Structures are given as structure tokens and as C-alpha cells.
Amino acid sequence: MIPSTLRGREVTLDVSRPLVVGIANATPDSFSDSGERSPATWIRNALACYAAGAAIVEVGGESNVSNRPPVTAAEEIERVVPVIAALVGAGAPVTVDTHRVETATAALEAGASFVNDITGFRDPQMVELCAERGAGVILMHTETPPKTPLWDDSLYPGGVVEHMLAFFEERLRTLAAAGVGKDRVVLDPGPDFAKTPRQSVEALRGLDRLVGLGPPVMLAVSRKDVVGALTGRRPRDRGAGTLAALAAGLRRGARLLRVHDVEATVDFLRVWEALEEDVEVPVELRIGEEIRREGPAGTLDPA
């Protein structure tokens, strides 16, 4: 049974229907964007994510690109805290993408509600911090440290899905023992992290089994390498492939969609829910004449 409620620090979200998690990079070296260096631009982009319909905005201050050196905790904090503060001031629930306890602490103090730790919360201090602060956690499956690519066709001899199930069951027990219940946990199968494209596909095909563990499942496949490998497209041209992956994940029970293009995903969700989830379409619904057709040279022509 898919849960209906997700709790974070000072926030409770309804996950009975899918939610969009907008990605707000506060980095100059993201794999998928132009690497804006201006904090003002990072804040503007983050607020735009929220305005476009993201139910949660995720702020990250370090790219996981493997050919870039790691940043210090101080630099990461300097990048993310102003963005988080601006989002919280606008009323947005925020998750911080970090594996450093110092950064997570600063982010929670700035008003973040969730921590997304791409090491899978292996650091007991990170678990203790989230338990003490009442933060929600996004628990990602991986078998490699940050910024360390690993493509090993023999890594999961019993199958990726069986490995993920064992991994999540063990981590959920650890979190529960610390006081972090399942209603404060999101599961992320971690496509691309210690997974070849074939292994990522296998992991995503097994989402329905992860749903059976209890917490809501997040689909973090936006512009990922697995989509690029399947389509032969560069990151910014992976929108269509991303939407295809979202549709497959939703059908298997995913409830949080972590994406770069919030506006397109919100549109996709409206149509998907109308067709797949029996969301009521008003009898009186009609298309406005101003958007019904394109005019000459791409201008709108209602005539």
C-alpha cells in the first residue's frame, strides 16, 4: 500500500498523489546545466522551480561529476544556505543534497525539512542529526562513495533489485532504531550510482517491489546517464526520455519525481493523472482560443 503522508522537519506532505521535486543546483559544474556561478542566479532559479509547481525544492552545493574536485563543507554551506533561506521565505519545503553532516546541520538551521544523503546514510552522525532535528530523509541506494564512478557488470550477482531490498531493509532498521520512522523516509533506487545502464533499467523495473517496503519511492532519473545511453542524447536533450521513465515509474508506484524541468513535468503529470489515475476532468473544460493554434512564424493566432 502506497503511504499517503510524508513528514519532514516542520512539514507534512500528502503523497497520495505524485509530487514534483525540483532540482536547484547551487554549483558551477553541474553535469546538466550551464554552471551559473552567481548566487543571485541560483536563488532565482530555485524560486522559479517552486513557482512552476514543485512541491519540494532540492538544493545541492556540490556536483557529483567525477572529474571535478570535491568542495569543502564551508564552501558547500556558503552556496546552499542563501538559496535555502530564500526558498523557506517563499514557503517552499526544501531538501538539501549533501553527504556532509556540517552542511546538513547548516541547511536544517536555515529551514530545510529533508536531507538527501547520496551515501545512503552510512554515517551514524548523519542519522543522529536527522533523528534529533526531526528531519525527513531521502535514502538512496548506492555502493560507491561520492564522485566515484563504478560500472561493474558482476556487482550484483543476485540481481540489482534483491540487493536494493536488502540494502533498504537494513538502513530502515538503522533509521528506526535512531527514531526515524518510515513516515519520514523516502526511498531512491539511485539510477546511475554504482549501476551500468542495464543495471539502472533493472532497478527501475523493480520499483513496485521497493514500494512494498512502506516509504514512498522517489524517481530521480531526470537527464541521467541511463536515459542518455538509451537515447544517445546529451543531458539537455533528454527531456523526452526522462518523461518516458517517469511514466514507467509512476505505473510502478513512484510518488516523488525529482526533475530539472519542473514546468514540463507538471504538464506531464496533469495529463497522466487524467488518463491513468481517473482524476476528474470538469465537464465544462474547454481550451482557450488564445492557445488553440499557432499563428504565422510561431505567434499565437486565435482567429
- Residues annotated as catalytic (active site), given as ranges: 224, 258
User: What is the distance between the alpha carbons of residues 219 and 237, in angstroms, rounded to a whole number?
Assistant: 19
DSSP 201-224: HHHHHTHHHHHTTSS-BEE--TT-
Distance in angstroms (rounded) separating the CA atoms of residues 140 and 144: 11
